[in-house]
Structure 1
């Protein structure tokens, strides 16, 4: 059995650990995102105000509302993501090694000749909407990681810092989309309903200004950075455990030096 399963297990476990540790910030950020900038006494002014109001009215249970479904979702998402990510990465690497003459330009030329300009951008709208955050995050993470490993080995704390920084960059860029997405997922009045992400961006800008696009950013930045930091650090630790677990159950042969790290 390949190491892809170990990556899937460690990624799922790391995601669960990170979510449990940071879930109160997830709840606060979600509530601030859907809030429309009102000034009533029940409105949240900032992260700290939201924390104490939720704690006072709903107790600790309110801060962890929905945790069960969140854990299930993150475990499945991360497990599938890391399995596919590693499998794709190895396939691409083998493809590059076996066919060095085929460049990105030649591939693009083939697509253009067969499908035209539309073929080069097929599915780009949905892809950008769904994966722009992890694309930015993992691009930044892998770029910095590659530079560091040329100088020295990475420690668990290095993975913690790399995870935090890469998520900071990704969240800062994609946050307005997250705000619109959160609002589209809740019930809205007819005159406030967004027909699309672009429509949502326009309406928020016209009624609430740029500030409306970044409601709850403070708590989201902190939560995202901590989640990513704990995820990457925990995944590296759990990866070795996952390998040994697969060895113990007979799903993998024992190796002197684990591969894939």
Structure 2
């Protein structure tokens, strides 16, 4: 019998779903589970993946939120059979190192994206270096995003960035409301690339950095790379995995 740990967001819908599943299937602590079932929306799924990344159990999400791109449809019945038939996707997060104006280094991981955003009334000025080579001396924009394939349909897509197939070894570098170069939409980079942003005129044009919502204010340098040492295992119902969802999203 599959040992299940059930984790749920604080919403009444998710909590009620948790009570129903635990009553029907029982539960064990996440450390002892074969599978972790996450009940909520995409935000809670990211929270669960970050919180359980040191555990061997994969995560199977069921949508009790709004969009649920990383989630499966919620159904109380047939959970054991769905878990048995589920397909697995393995994704690596991004590692962000942000250096503040005060010299503090802050590290964080991002499953979806690392974003730099202006924190004042004026547009940010950023210098972009890829693998040690300056690729853009000055980007004037509201910000910039480095997105994984799994995160390419989130903030990246809202900023008109490309949707990336989950199996592609690339990252999306996307500008947020670029002013100069005019209408620059970004670039596709190898998954192995290290991207460095240096904030120009940082005092006049303050910038904050975020890794899946973990914010650092007043940054002067942000370095982003793929963290291959960390693997997140996500389970999906057959025919509804990330690959299919990414393709389907492009035709809606």
Same fold by TM-score greater than 0.5: no
Larger gyration radius, structure 1 or structure 2: 1
- More helix per residue: 1
